[in-house]
Every structure is written in structure tokens, then in C-alpha cells.
Amino acid sequence: MNSLDAVPAVRRIDTDRADLFAVDVVGHVSPADAENLFGLLEAAYLLHPMVDVLVRLVDYEDTDWAGLSPQTIERGKAKALEHVRRCATIGEPDWTGRVRRLFTTLPVEIRHFDAKDEQQAWTWLDARAL
């Protein structure tokens, strides 16, 4: 990577649980960042049929969903429904209501935590960052 390359908006967080997929989402999420996120999740699903997810939003700006194919988005949603048990989001915005509206049924338990309550999210998932 040279100094002109964009820093990825999606960054893995190492945790003490192998079946916890944890990421920071920082700033603007480009279509390439979103594709990367879907690829990382697919790899996690191959290693662990069921995973918990933690998404920490850090100075989040927006996501360029228009740059992704509808098939990629639909496949990502379908895979999440198959493989994700619980999802904790930390920080703003709280998009858990929008996620619930996207699905007619949501077998995934999803909770939002304010940034000041981050430790509660980690406790809810019985995990910690390394």
C-alpha cells in the first residue's frame, strides 16, 4: 500500500473468542470496503457455522450501498440469517431498527450500545478484545 491508497474502513478486532467476528467500521465505507466485509464474514462462516458479530462504529460517515450489486447485498443478508446468532453494534448511528425492518423474520438477536457502554456489549457477547 502506498501513501495514496485509502485506508480500509473495515478493520478486524482480535478477540478471545474464535467464533466472534468483530470489526471497527471507520469513516466512509466504499463498495470495496463492503465487499471486503462480506468476504471476511464468508470466511468466518466457513470456520464456524454459527458466529456472533460485534460492529464498533468509529467516526462513521456513511456506506456507499449504490456501488454494490443487489445480488451481493441479498447474498450477504441471506448468509447472515443462516450463520449469525447475536449481533452487537456500538456507537452511532443506531441502525438496528433499519436492520429489523429489512427482514420479515429476524432469528438474529441484535442489540445496540452507546459508545460509552461498549463494555456492556463485550459482556453481552461474553468476550473481550485482545
Residue 2 lies in a domain: no
Closest by Cα among 106, 33, 45, 103 to 72:
33
Residue 90 lies in a domain: yes
Name the pTM for this structure: 0.91
Strand, helix or coil for residue 71: helix
Q: What is the count of structural domains for the chain?
A: 1
pLDDT in tens, 31-53: 999 999 999 999 999 999 999 99
Q: Does residue 121 register a pLDDT over 90?
A: yes
| CATH code for the domain in which residue 109 is found | 3.30.750.24
Residue 115 lies in a domain: yes
Range of 46's domain?
A: 10-124
Please tell me the predicted confidence (pLDDT) of residue 3: 46
